[in-house]
Structure 1
């Protein structure tokens, strides 16, 4: 599998639990030197604050941290308004926003919240069309028209234009969605939780194949991985369940062996604040060093 040679970045996955000190955590993440902060988007969860409102508040209280929904639920967010929100947040944050995007999941909850339950084929079509609509609304054009099977524009006016090219990163898993990622997306953002990394290598290869078939260099698609695990002081208990040395080796393999350039820490156990600090101090610099050594 290829290593695309991108500079490594590291992020933190924030669960928007209303009872947690979310803004304090975001400021701490920036102070620790993380590059990104991703916020999951499940608005039907009664204990969660709204992801977009939280991202806006975090943007106002940070200066360097790059932000993205991890990932936005298109099933509950109309694409033209999603494009407007993304462009506005990018402008107000000084170009620090990227758009993580997914077709939707937990369809019973989506339907209960007023959304439309879609079949796999409809969800695919909605996402493919939604990407086109979003990019049209970022174009700066006027009298924008689009007639899809699910989404449409009937003379919309674009604006504000994002101050930097916002990446569209797809949370994709199935073969058709991986193909769409390779053909049109700027990034791929899956989650690695337990087990082994075999499936993620196979899925990345599907993205590469789709990109090549579409006439794109596979390196055009960034690889962002949510890594769920726990840093421990004891022996390994599996993938991303062990001491810092193990994490360094495993993340290095994912970078140089599969091509991931960004790792977003999703703490699955233990003291979250302590886990963030240990990851920032004992994992991030050593992964950067080890990847640089293996590349040379």
Structure 2
């Protein structure tokens, strides 16, 4: 490598060398989020001129790639829910669309796919809570407040995922207003996930590059 790594933050995006975190454009579908975004702790990036090697940047880059996959799958969940709600697709006829997705289940239904997505998000956050975040806290006490906040947001997201599950149960039961409720909770899931994933990438880019994964 030649020269110092470029550290830029604009619009919630961090660039370190050729690593760029994914932006959150601030679009909110449901109004206020269940947390205070401006009050989030920030990681104090050391101003020591440290240069990151390619293998160090590969660690936060992998986190961004996982998050981008979750975002892409969330977009597909939203599209299927929208088509079913508009009557453009029945729950059963969604099979050919779901078949092309990476998170497949044997039961090709809207409910099965949404539940699959929720499980993947839950598993991702569980892995972070039991491995990545404790490792970073031990390696770098300065990241502690950010870790605390991320874990708090994981709990909020878990509650939203529970709401999605309940909305799916109501949809299967053909309760009045069930589709409207499902669309609302999927909108809320979209808001909290896009906000959370962007914050996590931005604040953990440097710690992950410095300290790696446990």
- TM above 0.5, yes or no, is no
TM-score of the aligned structures, taking structure 2 as reference length? 0.29
Higher relative contact order (CA 8 A, sep 6+): 2
TM-score of the aligned structures, taking structure 1 as reference length? 0.22
Structure with the larger helix share: 2
